[in-house]
Structure 1
Amino acid sequence: MILVTGGTGLVGAHLLLHLTEKGENVRATYRNLSTTEKTKSLFKLHQKEVLFQKIDWVKADILDIPSLEIAFENITTVYHCAAHISFDPKEEILLRKVNIEGTANIVNFCIDKKVKKLCYVSSIAALGDLTQNENIITEDTEWNPEIYHSDYAISKYGAEMEVWRGFQEGLGVVIVNPGIILGSTIWDTGSGVIFGKVKNGLSFYTKGQTGHVSVTDVVIAMTQLMESAISGERFTLVAEHFTYEKIIKIIARKTGSKPPKFYVKPWITAIAWRLDWFIATFLGTKRNLSKFAAQSIHTIDWYSNEKIKNTLNFEFQPIEKVVEDIVNLEKK
């Protein structure tokens, strides 16, 4: 049986859809029963409600050992998708606890229960840092601990270290490092937030650049890697690179929304994150813009996808087509 942690998140839910379509015997974890409704809505969007009923749902928390004991009964392979995503500096401890300690627990159970193989969903945030003579980030780019990283990036990098520990102890592992994942807007995180803001009339943009990928491509790559003999490798999953300006305007065009008009320069976001810190500190509100986020939306990054393409002869979907498909699916 296959175990999917984080079955109520964007990647986990699409992975469950993909696995059940293939006729796999699947168990998925959830923390709150109400969150499974988002996964159910995804199956309904694809007219696959009958497959949703075939999932063996288990209430479990990756930080709760007794619940994991139940979740791991008769499991042969594991897709670890559960994670905490936040760029709020106030959540540093929670990020490290969930993403690092939680992953350590999953790895330990995989070893103890003699699981054949583990796939861990990391992030491009956990990839290395370019030196002065480099211009594109690959799976082999070294992490520089002296460079400032977001707490989220540190937590995902730390989680990867736990996975590599498992590999050294004999566990079969693969790691995927997706860029910004585009998928159904049912989720109020990640690309779901981007789609929502654009449809509501996002008026500004920046010219920073990063890699984007379809959630469908992510889950297909994951399953192909797990079904292969490959182990002890990580793979960057990025289809195309777009500036934030371009991806926002593509979404606006496909959704029939007004495109943003105002370019926000770096000095403006530098002021904005300081104001955000001041308000959050003295009013106790949640941070909306951290220093790292304010800087990253102006940074131009390039990621190589050659390894996954050469290893699996993998072909990514064009991002503009991905956005169009997302919009058309949710119009049904």
Structure 2
Amino acid sequence: RDAQRIGNQGVLSKAFQNSIDWMPCDLMQWGDADRLVEGADVVFHCAALISYDPKDQAQLMHQNAQSTARLVDACLAAGVRRLVHVSSIAALGPPRDNEPVHEDTPWNEKEASSYYGQSKFAAELEVWRGQEEGLEVIVVNPSVILGTGAFETGSNQMFRKVQRGLMFYSSGSLGVVDVRDVAKACLMLHQGNCIGQRFLLNGANLTFKVLFDEMASCLACRPPAYCPPFWLARFTALLLQGWSNLRGTRNFISAETVKAAYTRKHYDGSRILRTLPSFQYRPWTQTVADGVAHLLYSPEPRPTYRPKP
């Protein structure tokens, strides 16, 4: 991984500092990828770029799909036995006939929700290609991952935004899963030799309103109170996107993120429960409570938030 980001792991770095060998690596460099997997029996591939900014389309395909192809090739060349790949629900197709999205929901290129989803789907194809060439493969497709860790990037930003006084919410829904459950699932699926299979990981289906209200309750701050109509949110996103294009800056909201935020989807993460009866998802309220506890005691500066009246 990037050595400059090791400090972002906080608790992980401190708890296992004597058990982890940190190796800076550029997966797009043949030598780096080969050196990384040399002598390994099993590789867990968890790295990916997450972005819904249209400016990042090429970078998403480069860092997610092409780097995965390079890693698969390195694993095959080095004689690695097994690859456990962390994909995403974004690599799954849209729901059919109001059914929950599951592992076998077919991909539909015309209805692909985002460039990020396209890049993760392309990355998965490389993993399955590795299986055809002799690599043992396990794939997990987690929903929105929440938990302790960095709160300025990724889906954990929601904690920080609510803490800072987020005023708006959307009418859509999302699936959430605890980061500890994702790690546990990867390990248990590997130990259970569940090769050649795909597992959607989802602990709960929630509306954004319910999730934000729970975060605000744990933070003892005011929850978001306003839900703008979809047309207004999309119009605002298009204006901001145009403004960011003129200024050459990054935009924090896009038409893709608005569409996702106003879409209601349900995800079925029960296959792993049937396959591994000893595996259980943590309650999502525990995930939120633990995340807030870590946020409040985080060494990062904590902005003020709007107190309850």
- Per the alignment, residue 150 of structure 2 pairs with 186
Instruction: Work out which of the residue numbers 276, 290, 303 in structure 2 matches 1:325.
Output: 290
Secondary structure of the 1:204 match is coil
Query: Is 1:284 the counterpart of 2:253 in the alignment?
Result: no
TM-score of the pair, normalised by structure 2: 0.92
Q: CA contact under 8 A between 1:185 and 1:196: conserved in structure 2?
A: no
Residues 118, 325 of structure 1: CA spacing in aligned structure 2 closer, same or farther, 3 A cutoff? same
Q: CA contact under 8 A between 1:185 and 1:193: conserved in structure 2?
A: no
Deviation of 1:57 (Å): 1.2
Instruction: Work out which of the residue numbers 6, 19, 23 in structure 2 matches 1:58.
Output: 23
Number of residue pairs aligned between Structure 1 and Structure 2:
296
Secondary structure of the 1:78 match is strand
- Distance in 2 between residues matched to 1:280 and 1:148, nearest whole Å: 24
Q: Deviations over 1:32-57 (max 9, x none)?
A: x2311112x1237xxxx352122111
Q: Deviations over 1:2-58 (max 9, x none)?
A: xxxxxxxxxxxxxxxxxxxxxxxxxxxx22x2311112x1237xxxx3521221111
Q: Which runs of 5+ in 1 are unaligned?
A: 1-29
Query: Is 1:42 the counterpart of 2:6 in the alignment?
Result: no
- Distance in 2 between residues matched to 1:298 and 1:323, nearest whole Å: 22
Query: Is 1:147 the counterpart of 2:111 in the alignment?
Result: yes
Query: Is 1:253 the counterpart of 2:223 in the alignment?
Result: no
- Per the alignment, residue 105 of structure 1 pairs with 70
- Distance in 2 between residues matched to 1:92 and 1:330, nearest whole Å: 31
Q: CA contact under 8 A between 1:180 and 1:190: conserved in structure 2?
A: no
Deviation of 1:251 (Å): 0.5
Instruction: Work out which of the residue numbers 298, 307, 312 in structure 1 matches 2:271.
Output: 307
- Distance in 2 between residues matched to 1:187 and 1:328, nearest whole Å: 12
Secondary structure of the 2:176 match is strand
Moved more, 54-63 or 87-96: 54-63
Secondary structure of the 1:216 match is helix
Give the alignment's Cα RMSD to 1 decimal. Answer: 1.4
Q: Which runs of 5+ in 2 are unaligned?
A: 298-309
Residues 52, 126 of structure 1: CA spacing in aligned structure 2 closer, same or farther, 3 A cutoff? same
Q: Give the letter aligned to residue 109 of structure 1.
A: A
Secondary structure of the 2:109 match is coil
Matches within 5 A, 1:94-133: 94-131=59-96, 133=97
Instruction: Work out which of the residue numbers 24, 29, 34 in structure 2 matches 1:69.
Output: 34
Secondary structure of the 1:259 match is coil
Q: CA contact under 8 A between 2:52 and 2:114: conserved in structure 1?
A: yes
- Distance in 2 between residues matched to 1:52 and 1:185, nearest whole Å: 16
Deviation of 1:134 (Å): 4.5
Residues 299, 43 of structure 1: CA spacing in aligned structure 2 closer, same or farther, 3 A cutoff? same
Deviation of 1:148 (Å): 4.0
- Distance in 2 between residues matched to 1:256 and 1:50, nearest whole Å: 29
- Per the alignment, residue 87 of structure 1 pairs with 52
Q: Which is bigger in relative contact order (C-alpha 8 A, separation at least 6)?
A: 2
- Distance in 2 between residues matched to 1:187 and 1:253, nearest whole Å: 18
- Per the alignment, residue 22 of structure 1 pairs with none
- Per the alignment, residue 304 of structure 2 pairs with none
Secondary structure of the 2:249 match is coil
Instruction: Work out which of the residue numbers 308, 316, 324 in structure 1 matches 2:281.
Output: 316
Percent identity reads: 33
- Distance in 2 between residues matched to 1:51 and 1:327, nearest whole Å: 23
Higher relative strand content: 1
Secondary structure of the 1:235 match is strand
